[in-house]
Structure 1
C-alpha cells in the first residue's frame, strides 16, 4: 500500500511517518520549502526521511512570502514568545499561515494520484493549543470530500484516504507513541525562530518542552543557552 507522508521535520510529522511504516505502507515523503522563517526544519525532514528509508522524498518549493500574513512568512511580524497554554488557546495565533494545509494537501493529492497512492498521512493535532483552523476534524472531513470529488481516482474508484493518527492525542501521548515506533527525536525540529539552535520560547518550543518535561525527560534537540530546559507552562 502506497502512502504520501507530509513531512515537515517536526515531532508530529516524524511520528506519523513511522506510524505509516508500522501500518505496512510504502512511504513517499513530501516536504515544502515555502520560504518559511524556520527553513531549518527542511534539514530535519531530509535527515528523517533518509533515516527512515522512505522510497522517495520530494521537496516542493514556492514562495508564500509574496503575501505574508503570518509570522512564519513575514519577518516584520514578531513571533509570540513565552506564552502560557491559556494564552495560546485564546485566539488563532499569528503563526497561522493562511490556507497552508489546504495548499499542502493539494500537492499531496496530486502526487498521490500520480503514484496511485491509497493514503495521505498528515500530522495534524486538534488538541495543540495553537488552535489552527486547518488542524481540526471538521476541516479534515471536508478535505476528504475534496479528495473524493476532485480526482479521477476518487470518481472512478476509491478516493485516497486522509489519515490523521495524532489528531486526538495529547503531545505527551504522541511522544509515547513515537517512543514505541522508534522515532529519533534528536533529528526532529519544531522551533519557529529559524536559528541553528531552538529558541525555547516560541509556541512550538513551549509545547514540545512541556510535553517532554511532563514525561520527566529532557528534549534531546539543542536549545540556546539563555533558556531553562525545564521551563514549564
Structure 2
C-alpha cells in the first residue's frame, strides 16, 4: 500500500498506468503480478503474430481476466508471412535439444516490434511505463533479451515520441532481466502466481499441453526443480 500511495503521489494523486507485454507464459505473468503489487493500473498487450499455436494467447486472456487489467488487446501481426523462425514457419522444426549460437526459435525483430506497439499504446493512454519479461540469464541466446537492447530501445523511445520530446520520459521496465528462472519462480510464488495457468512451450498442443523437450520447456522444468517448487505444467 505504501508503494501504491507513493506512485500516486508522484503522479499528482492519479493512478499510474502501465502497459504489460503479456504472452501467457511464466515470465510475463510474474511481471504482471509485480506491476500490480507496485500499484500500477495495468493494460495488457498480447500478439497473435503467426506463432505455431494459440494456447499461449488463451492463457493470456485468462490471466488478464484474473488480474483485472483495465484493457487487454491482442494485436494480429503477420510475422509468419516472413518466416525465418521455427515459431513462425512450419517448415522449420522446433529443436528438441540445445544448439550452439542463436537458435532457430529466435523470431526476427519480435521484441522490437512488440515494444513499438506498446510504446504507441502508452502514448495514447498517457502511460509512462512499459513492462516486459525479458531475461538475460536463463534464456535461449536471443539478442533482443539483453540489457543493451532495452537501453537502446528506451533511448530511441524518448527521441521518437511526443511524450519524450515534451520531457515525459517513458520507461521500459525489465524486472526479471538479471534473475534466474528459479529466482523468477520464487518471486512469483511469493506473489501468489498460479503457474499452472501459463503456457511456455514452443510446441504446445491445442489444449496447451507442453512437449517437455523444447528449449522453453527445459528452462522451465529446470527452474522449478532448482526453486524447489512443484512443477504444475501439464505435459503431453
TM-score, normalised via structure 1 length = 0.92
How many residue pairs get matched?
Answer: 219
Q: Which residue of 1 aligns with 2:214?
A: 202
Q: Does 1:57 align with 2:72?
A: yes
The alpha carbon displacement at 1:82 in A equals 3.5
CA contact (8 A) 2:21 2:132 kept: yes
Q: Does 1:31 align with 2:46?
A: yes
- Calculate the aligned-residue CA RMSD, in Å: 1.0
The alpha carbon displacement at 1:129 in A equals 3.6
Given candidates 137, 147, 151, the residue that maps to 1:141 is 151
**Dislocated runs of 4+, deviation >2 Å:** 215-218
Given candidates 122, 126, 129, the residue that maps to 2:136 is 126
Given candidates 179, 185, 189, the residue that maps to 1:179 is 189
What is the distance in 1 between the residues matched to 2:23 and 2:62?
Answer: 11
What is the distance in 2 between the residues matched to 1:38 and 1:19?
Answer: 27
1:157-215 CA-to-partner distances (Å, cap 9, x unmatched) read 22210000000000000001001111111111100003121000000001000111122
Q: Which residue of 2 aligns with 1:230?
A: none
The alpha carbon displacement at 1:38 in A equals 2.9
Secondary structure in 2 matching 1:70 = coil
Secondary structure in 1 matching 2:144 = helix
Mind listing any 5+ residue stretches in structure 2 that lack a counterpart?
1-15
Q: Which residue of 1 aligns with 2:13?
A: none
Q: Does 1:158 align with 2:173?
A: no
